[in-house]
Amino acid sequence: MIPTNEQIAELIREDSVHKSVYTDPVLFKLEMERIYGHAWIYVGHKSQVKNSGDYHTTRIGEQDVVMVRGSDGAVNVLYNRCPHKGAKLVADGDGNVGKFFRCPYHAWTYKLDGQHLSAPLKSGFEGTCYDPKHADFSMVSVARVDSYRGFVFASQASYGEDLKTFLGGVITSIDNLCDRSPVGEVEVVGGIFRVQQRSNWKVFYENLHDTMHARVTHESSVDAARGEAEAIGEMPFELLIMDGNGEPYDFWEKLELRAYTNGHGYMEAIFDPAAAERDVVSREHFECLKKAYGEERSREILGMNRHNTVIYGSGSPHTVFMQFRVIRPLSVDRTMVEIQTFRCKGAPDSVFDRALTYANVINSPSSNVMPDDVEVYARCQEGNMTRGGEWISMHRYAGKDITLEDGAISTNGTSELPMRNQFAAWKKFMTATIIAKESTHAA
Amino acid sequence: MSSLSLMVRQIDSLTPRIRRLLLVSTDSRPLPTFTPGAHVELHVPGERIQRRAYSLVNEPGTDYYEIAVQLEENSSGGSRWVHSLSEGQVIQAEPPSNQFPLSDSADHFVLIAGGIGITPMLGMARALKSSGKTFSLHYSGRTPESMAYLDEVKKLEQSNLWITNGNSSKRFPARSVLADPKIAQHLYICGPNQMVNSVLQEARELGWKDDHLHYEVFTGALEQLGDKPFDVFLKESGLTLTVNPDQTVLDVMLEAGLDPMFDCRRGDCGVCVAQVLEGEADHRDICLSERERSLGSFCPCVSRATSERLVLDI
Amino acid sequence: MLLDSTFDINTTKLQSVNIPEETFRSIEKFLFKEAKLLDQRNFWEWDKLFTESGMYWVPHKHEQDNPFDHISLFWENRMLREVRIRRVENSRNWSQQPQTQTAHLVGNLIVEGVDDQGHLVVSAVFQITEWRLKLRQLAGRYTYKLATQDDGDWKIQLKRVDLVNCNDVFENLEVFI
């Protein structure tokens, strides 16, 4: 039974949400249609398809899509389906198809923008409605494809806000990430981890700006990092990043939580102009950026200290350590996270080395930090299947955030504003009036 | 007569791409005999058994058949299969037959071989030498390394070598060699289509009678004897290219450094389809419908022109 | 620095070597001992099997060249291995409630050769059945650089673990493979 918009709206209160948003498969299906079927979702980065014919497969919601570089330089995002018998044209993964897609089943071919190219033995189609120029015989592009500084997004709806409007202020995180390159460009390099969580996708999103969990959930890795640092008499980078989760509560209270409409946001420490000179790697980076941007602007770029950014529906880019944790829902209780690592073009090698180290130590499936998160998410997923209560609490500083034109800002860093903001967006998408899409068939 | 069972007794690499095989009988019966110019058809296994003919190089009367096979890039399977055989393997074949016999009434033989076309010509030369008849053997090829039996041919006093190294001015000089044909002289030629066509053309012009001219061609699937060169003007690229009988429009486009779309190179898939703007097309594909052809669609990978000039949109 | 590219990870360009049957047996025993330490969760003793500079590497990519320009599932020096061990034994490690249990099967030992620095390089195939809430099977090839000790025993300069499914979608990998 598909719930009505009223019923869905009732699941979201000002300060709490009903547990079924995490556990109901019917709601999950609706999310795939109403959120992943409409919002701008991150597909991949242009650097993943550098040359004509290069492709990268991924999912938008439950939809298998392929991002491909065309011969005209454009990046296309197409559903991975041959219009003949429906076969996936390319296997999952990355590769190069050459100058055209060729279906392995009957050798129907398509240009790199999806347009029908040819089929064998065409006399067999004479007198039928086979028409190479009709949309039914070409691959289908995802309705809207756009990009910002190389980050390719797609929307499965042909209508709605454009990409920049959809992203709103969170676009400044993409800018900061790219501006850390002296030429303003980043590229995905070094491989992509894929980790599976046994929980609903939204549980991970909420955790990204959950400032109250770090000391508790990550106690074992904080203790281990500190114990080791004591034993060896120093705290190198790898231990420092684990130690960070052990900051006292007053540290987290001082952070700023910025929420944007559509569920996006970031978590930021106060601007620190000295960040540019804090350590060897940063100093090297600063010297490099100064040549491109001058001292003041370089301090500004490196001083922006965002811990996590959330692009709702897509995932979490990390501007300082140059990762993007892309969040792909698999089912109501399974989520896949793909972790991209970026090189800032023109930046010193040490900056990339640091990003790679961060990826290995924090984002690998073998991370000492993430498994505790993943475990508690799974416990939430299972706990919410019991009859032990109906609602999930998001009470911290409810009513105390400052509303802004394009979202809100917290008055205390331990506010649960980000969760409330994400669910406000969820409600908006899930109860939007749906316009039915008409299709024309060839005959 | 039923097919023969032959065993591959010996395999030698004559050049990097040419293998010689000595085939013997698998039982005590002697191999069927033959006359110079004959060939055997080997049964190439596959979904449908195909037959591929290879000239016999050895003299009649030996207890083996000698063939030499060049590995072709666009092989329909035959030469690739032959190159995959190993010594001791048993294969099936038809008994020898001869479409290229030496004339009884000739008193002098002009033998001309181009590339792997040396196989029937050397078979003839060996037999003629043994029987004391007069002949001249002309062997043309690109480089010495690519020419099978070169040493043996060099040792024949009746032989002439024409090694081009890609220089067309070093080709077999038909005009001078074939001038002034004598009444009982017969010409035998085997080699690539273009060479055979142009030598026969010269010979006719020099007065050779048709019944004194004998030829054999080793064709690929798509070449037909009698193909003429034509020009193709490519509108979008702005290039005019000549397409010789042993080339396709696609070949010359690629040689000219263009970057066209193509896939099967057999006229199956339709990826290379272009539009004819001027000229008469000679369609050799199986992909396009009649209606599409009539509207101007054309497959550059296999199709040719009956007019001297063809204009395509690409 | 962790990504110190002067560390020699080469396990393919080797000098061939013939070793006596006795030595072969002693390597086998060493590998069986290593596997047992892991199965018993005796990780501190396991870590002692490494040299001072020894590295533990689980590549992320099939036939991965090196850990310096591509991510790895594990690329751990002594410090990081010790952090892991400390954490695995911490009672507030929520992701080890219950603990991971393993059974390592190691076989097909082959002596590959000797590297530039005189380490003996050997490889073996492994199968691990792992259980934490559900069973998981991990398998692949171990390649070791072994340093001989004065007492005839071995220490590990490099343990390279090539998983059959190295670039798979993984749930967490908590303990050493």
In a domain, C10, yes or no: no
Burial class of A362 by CB neighbour count within 10 A (0 to 12, 13 to 18, 19+): buried
Buried b (16+ CB within 10 A) or exposed e, A37-68: bbbbbbbbbbbbbeebbbbbbbbbbbbebbbb
Return the percentage of chain C with pLDDT > 90, whole number: 95
Residues of C (67-86) whose Cβ lies below 8 Å from A: 68-75, 79-80, 82-84, 86
CA distance A218 to chain C (A): 8
Per-residue model confidence (pLDDT) at position A435: 55
Is the pLDDT assigned to residue A45 strictly greater than 70?
Answer: yes
Per-residue model confidence (pLDDT) at position C79: 97
Per-residue model confidence (pLDDT) at position B222: 41
How large is the angle between the packed helices A201-208 and A417-430, nearest 10 degrees? 140
pLDDT band at B112 (very low <50, low <70, confident <90, very high): very high
Nearest to B148 by CA among B70, B73, B64, B209: B70
Q: What is the 3-state secondary structure (H, E, C) of A332-364?
A: CCEEEEEEEEEEECCCCHHHHHHHHHHHHHHHC
Sheet holding A402-404, edge to edge: A306-310, A265-268, A256-260, A407-409, A402-404
Is the pLDDT assigned to residue A278 strictly greater than 60?
Answer: yes
Do the Cβ atoms of C172 and A370 come within 8 Å? Answer: yes
Conformation bin of residue A399: beta by default, left when phi > 0, alpha when psi is -120 to 50: left
What residues does CATH 3.90.380.10 cover in chain A? 169-211+255-270+305-430
Computed from CA positions of residues B44, B45, B46, B49, in that sequence, does the dihedral angle turn out positive or negative? positive
- Kindly report which listed range (A117-126, B70-79, B280-289, C135-144) carries the lowest average pLDDT score: B70-79
Per-residue model confidence (pLDDT) at position B283: 92
Residue pair C61/A191 in contact by the 8 Å Cβ criterion: yes
Residue pair B284/B257 in contact by the 8 Å Cβ criterion: no
Interchain CB contact of A123 with B (< 8 Å): yes
Domain boundary among B32, B67, B93: B93
Residue pair A118/B287 in contact by the 8 Å Cβ criterion: yes
In a domain, C30, yes or no: yes
Q: Do chains A and B touch (3 or more CB pairs under 8 A)?
A: yes
Task: Record the tokens describing residue A205, joined without a space.
Answer: 């999103």
- Please indicate, yes or no, whether residues B211 and B130 belong to a single structural domain of this protein: yes
Distance of CA A403 to the CA centre of its chain: 25
H/E stretch holding A383: helix A370-383
Place of tokens 């669910």: A423
Residue pair A267/A257 in contact by the 8 Å Cβ criterion: yes
How large is the angle between the packed helices A280-293 and A349-358, nearest 10 degrees? 130
Q: Do chains B and C touch (3 or more CB pairs under 8 A)?
A: no
Chain C residue numbers with beta carbons less than 8 Å from the beta carbon of A196 are: 169-171
Is the pLDDT assigned to residue A442 strictly greater than 80?
Answer: no
H helix runs in chain C, sequence order: 21-39, 43-48, 78-88
Is the pLDDT assigned to residue A263 strictly greater than 60?
Answer: yes
CA atoms within 13 A of residue A161's CA, in its CB half-sphere: 13
| Residue B43 lies in domain | 4-93
Cβ contacts of A374 within 8 Å, gap of 6 or more: A195, A197, A198, A199, C95, C171, C172
pLDDT tens string B189-226: 999 877 888 898 889 889 999 889 998 877 544 444 56
Q: Using alpha carbons only, give the angle A33, A39, A42 rounded to the nearest 5 degrees.
A: 110
Is the pLDDT assigned to residue A437 strictly greater than 60?
Answer: no
Task: List the subunits that have 3+ CB pairs under 8 angstroms with C.
Answer: A
Domain boundary among B182, B217, B252: B217
Residue C43, phi then psi, degrees to nearest 5: -70, -35
Do the Cβ atoms of B292 and A107 come within 8 Å? Answer: no
The span from the CA of B43 to the CA of C84, in Å, is: 67
Residue pair B288/A122 in contact by the 8 Å Cβ criterion: yes
- Please indicate, yes or no, whether residues B39 and B86 belong to a single structural domain of this protein: yes
Which candidate from B261, B271, B292 shows the least CB-CB separation from A122?
B292
Do the Cβ atoms of C94 and A236 come within 8 Å? Answer: no
CA distance C16 to chain A (A): 33
Mean of pLDDT values over B122-143: 93
What chain C residue is nearest to A350 in terms of C-alpha separation?
Answer: C3
Is the pLDDT assigned to residue A440 strictly greater than 70?
Answer: no
Buried b (16+ CB within 10 A) or exposed e, B103-124: eeebebbbbbbbbbbbbbbbbb
Task: Record the tokens describing residue A389, joined without a space.
Answer: 């209560």
A–B: how many Cβ contacts below 8 A? 42
Strand partners, A334: A331
- Please indicate, yes or no, whether residues B203 and B238 belong to a single structural domain of this protein: no
Which candidate from C75, C90, C172 shows the least CB-CB separation from A371?
C172
Pick the CATH number of A41-148 from 2.102.10.10, 3.40.50.300, 3.40.190.10, 3.10.20.30: 2.102.10.10
Structurally, chain C folds into a number of domains equal to 1
Task: Record the tokens describing residue B124, joined without a space.
Answer: 């003839």
Computed from CA positions of residues A182, A183, A187, A190, in that sequence, does the dihedral angle turn out positive or negative? negative
Residue pair B262/B301 in contact by the 8 Å Cβ criterion: yes
Do the Cβ atoms of B287 and A121 come within 8 Å? Answer: yes
Is the pLDDT assigned to residue A379 strictly greater than 50?
Answer: yes
State the CATH number of the domain containing residue C67.
3.10.450.50
In a domain, B102, yes or no: no
Per-residue model confidence (pLDDT) at position A39: 97
A–C: how many Cβ contacts below 8 A? 114
Burial class of B30 by CB neighbour count within 10 A (0 to 12, 13 to 18, 19+): exposed
pLDDT tens string A311-349: 999 999 999 999 999 999 999 999 999 999 999 999 999
Is the pLDDT assigned to residue B99 strictly greater than 90?
Answer: no
Which candidate from A99, A121, A123 shows the least CB-CB separation from B261?
A99
- Please indicate, yes or no, whether residues B143 and B209 belong to a single structural domain of this protein: yes
Provide the mean pLDDT of chain B.
89
Nearest to B139 by CA among B195, B186, B180: B195
Chain A residue numbers with beta carbons less than 8 Å from the beta carbon of B263 are: 100, 102, 107, 109
CA distance A418 to chain B (A): 52
CA atoms within 13 A of residue A344's CA, in its CB half-sphere: 30
Buried b (16+ CB within 10 A) or exposed e, B178-205: beebeeebbbbbbbbbbbbbebbebbee
Distance of CA B119 to the CA centre of its chain: 11
Cβ contacts of A319 within 8 Å, gap of 6 or more: A173, A176, A177, A180, A304, A306, A309
Interchain CB contact of A121 with B (< 8 Å): yes
Computed from CA positions of residues A18, A19, A24, A27, in that sequence, does the dihedral angle turn out positive or negative? positive
State the CATH number of the domain containing residue B36.
2.40.30.10
The span from the CA of A334 to the CA of A200, in Å, is: 6
What residues does CATH 2.102.10.10 cover in chain A? 41-148
Amino acid letter for position A107: A
- Please indicate, yes or no, whether residues B235 and B212 belong to a single structural domain of this protein: no
Nearest to C174 by CA among C79, C102, C77: C102
Chain C residue numbers with beta carbons less than 8 Å from the beta carbon of A356 are: 3, 68-69, 71
Is the pLDDT assigned to residue A271 strictly greater than 80?
Answer: no
Do the Cβ atoms of B269 and A107 come within 8 Å? Answer: yes
In a domain, C12, yes or no: no
Per-residue model confidence (pLDDT) at position B194: 79
pLDDT tens string B2-15: 789 999 999 999 99
Nearest to A282 by CA among A180, A370, A431, A213: A180
Radius of gyration of chain C (CA): 16
In a domain, B298, yes or no: yes
Provide the mean pLDDT of chain C.
96
The span from the CA of A101 to the CA of B104, in Å, is: 60
The span from the CA of B311 to the CA of C124, in Å, is: 65
Return the percentage of chain A with pLDDT > 90, whole number: 93
- Please indicate, yes or no, whether residues B188 and B277 belong to a single structural domain of this protein: no
Interchain CB contact of A115 with B (< 8 Å): no
CA torsion angle A409 A268 C171 A425 (round to 10): 20
DSSP string, A130-145: --TTSGGGSPPBPSEE
State the CATH number of the domain containing residue B127.
3.40.50.80
Task: Record the tokens describing residue A293, joined without a space.
Answer: 């941007």
Structurally, chain B folds into a number of domains equal to 3
H/E stretch holding C63: none
Interchain CB contact of B294 with A (< 8 Å): no
What chain A residue is nearest to B270 in terms of C-alpha separation?
Answer: A118
pLDDT band at C1 (very low <50, low <70, confident <90, very high): low
pTM of the model: 0.76
Per-residue model confidence (pLDDT) at position B48: 67
Conformation bin of residue C90: beta by default, left when phi > 0, alpha when psi is -120 to 50: beta
pLDDT band at A434 (very low <50, low <70, confident <90, very high): low
Pairing state between β B185-191 and B213-217 = parallel
Residues of A (72-111) whose Cβ lies below 8 Å from B: 99-100, 102, 107, 109
Per-residue model confidence (pLDDT) at position B44: 85
Q: How far is CA C46 from CA A421, C43, C81, C139, in A?
A: 48, 5, 10, 20
pLDDT tens string C47-102: 999 999 999 999 999 999 999 999 999 999 999 999 999 999 999 999 999 999 99
| Residue C25 lies in domain | 21-163
Per-residue model confidence (pLDDT) at position B217: 78
Residue pair A273/A295 in contact by the 8 Å Cβ criterion: no
The span from the CA of B210 to the CA of A349, in Å, is: 77
Provide the mean pLDDT of chain A.
95
Chain B residue numbers with beta carbons less than 8 Å from the beta carbon of A99 are: 261
Is the pLDDT assigned to residue C113 strictly greater than 80?
Answer: yes
Q: Of A45-59, B80-94, B100-114, where does the model show the most confidence?
A: A45-59
**Selected residue of B250, B253, B254, B271 to mutate for chain A interface (largest A Cβ count, 10 A):** B271
Is the pLDDT assigned to residue B254 strictly greater than 80?
Answer: yes
Is the pLDDT assigned to residue A298 strictly greater than 50?
Answer: yes
pLDDT tens string A190-239: 999 999 999 999 999 999 999 999 999 999 999 999 999 999 999 999 99
Per-residue model confidence (pLDDT) at position B233: 96
Conformation bin of residue C113: beta by default, left when phi > 0, alpha when psi is -120 to 50: left
Task: Record the tokens describing residue A80, joined without a space.
Answer: 């991975």
Top CATH class, A169-211+255-270+305-430: alpha beta
Amino acid letter for position A93: G
Amino acid letter for position A231: A
Q: Do chains C and A touch (3 or more CB pairs under 8 A)?
A: yes
Residue C10: other Cβ atoms inside 10 A: 14
